[in-house]
Amino acid sequence: MAKKTVRDIEVKGKKVLIRVDFNVPQKDGEITDENRIVQALPTIKYVLEQGGKAIVFSHLGRIKKEEDKAKNSLSIVADRLSEHLDMPVRFIPKTRGEALEKAIDELENGQILMFENTRYEDLDGKKESKNDPELGRYWASLGDVFVNDAFGTAHREHASNVGIAANIKETVAGFLLEKEIRFIGGTLENPDRPLVAILGGAKVSDKIGVIRNLLKVADHILIGGGMAYTFFKALGYEVGTSLLEADKVELAKELLTEAEGKILLGKDVVTAKDFDKDSEKNIRKVTEIPADEMGMDIGPETIELFSKHLKDARTVIWNGPLGVFEFPRFAVGTKAIAQTLAGLKEELTTIIGGGDSAAAVIQFGLADDFTHISTGGGASLEYLEGKVLPGIDCVLDRS
């Protein structure tokens, strides 16, 4: 999918609207993970170095009532961005109005400002998230060109992406969005084979579309995590008190039939009697899970089986952890697979599809050992399903 990027347009002297994804986690007023800020830096720096006037904006959290505003102001992110850029980032605590317009008019080439959380507009009829036409036109009027670099919201048709794009002459991708298109979209279109997908997480229902789309392109799909137990049940195995979507067992049977051997399930699992970080762990064959135990992780034989297929791969896409990685004693399987892939970084392309799988490899200190870690959770899933994402579709095609 060839899309125009910020390299393809002239930005010098222009007011450049840059939609980023600065929806970063916070605790007690402190940013706990700044990966999304760091990932946006190349685009922002490029615009500034080329003499553009950068107008940066994002959503942050959910704004359902007036009290949500204070804890979800982007002012904290503007301060952190200023540190990364080593230059002032003027923050305008408004989403529209005279103060914002005046500040933009006062920008000089190579300067930057950030305006307030776009979701503030959702207090008045969800104008941002329902793509209010007037709001899209207004934000578009603030700039000369639009750079969309927010993959995390690319699956949503919002005023701050699609709405602006519909009302401005040039909409291009930033470098982060370009990477997501290249690594996820490009891999699905033309993978270096063998292509192996690893799917984990809690529910089969969250991944139905992903499984069906990957069955068309992947050579093998390795399934672990909570969703595996619905597949074990489909094979006639008892799963104890493990996470189970009973209404999806028949679907799991259908998917196994459709897969014609492409789907690989584990040989053993790690179980516990209680969902607790200190619960005693047991290793059980997948055919021998006791009635009073639940699956918490993949077992050593499964780690060996999965690792064998990964070592034969040329491309790996991973979405979803393989166990309860938040509990150290049940993070062994997820960590072992992450370490296997990290050790193969020179030999294959590894793509982490955002969400909890991204959180896991970051937690393990292995983020730098993967080719690409997506910044989108829901967007990554929908992209892996083969869906058209509005935030990408609105970017101009490269002719």
CB 149 within 8 A of CB 177: yes
Task: Choose, from 152, 355, 376, 377, the residue flagged as catalytic.
Answer: 355
DSSP strands (E only) in the chain: 15-19, 26-27, 30-31, 53-57, 90-92, 112-115, 145-148, 171-173, 195-199, 220-223, 263-265, 268-272, 282-285, 294-298, 315-319, 349-352, 372-373
DSSP 331-399: -HHHHHHHHHHHHTTTTSEEEE-SHHHHHHHHHTT-GGGSSEE-S-SHHHHHHHTTPPPHHHHTSPBP-
Omega into 93 within 30° of 0, i.e. cis?
Answer: no
Task: Choose, from 203, 253, 284, 314, the residue flagged as catalytic.
Answer: 203
- Known catalytic membership, residue 378: yes
Task: Choose, from 3, 19, 36, 248, the residue flagged as catalytic.
Answer: 36
- Name the residue among 296, 241, 298 with its Cα closest to residue 268: 298
Sequence-distant (6+) residues with CB within 8 A of 358 are 352, 373, 374, 375
Q: In Å, how far are 141, 188, 264 from 184, measured between CA atoms?
A: 32, 6, 22
- Known catalytic membership, residue 96: no
- Name the residue among 118, 41, 32, 104 with its Cα closest to residue 73: 118
The H helix count followed by the E strand count for the chain is 16, 17
Task: Choose, from 51, 61, 185, 378, the residue flagged as catalytic.
Answer: 378
- Known catalytic membership, residue 94: no
- Taking each helix axis as running N to C, give the angle between helix 208-217 and helix 249-259, from 0 to 180 degrees, rounded to the nearest 10: 10
Rounded CA gap, 214 and 195, in Å? 10
- Known catalytic membership, residue 36: yes
Rounded CA gap, 284 and 269, in Å? 5
Residues carrying an active site annotation: 36, 203, 355, 378
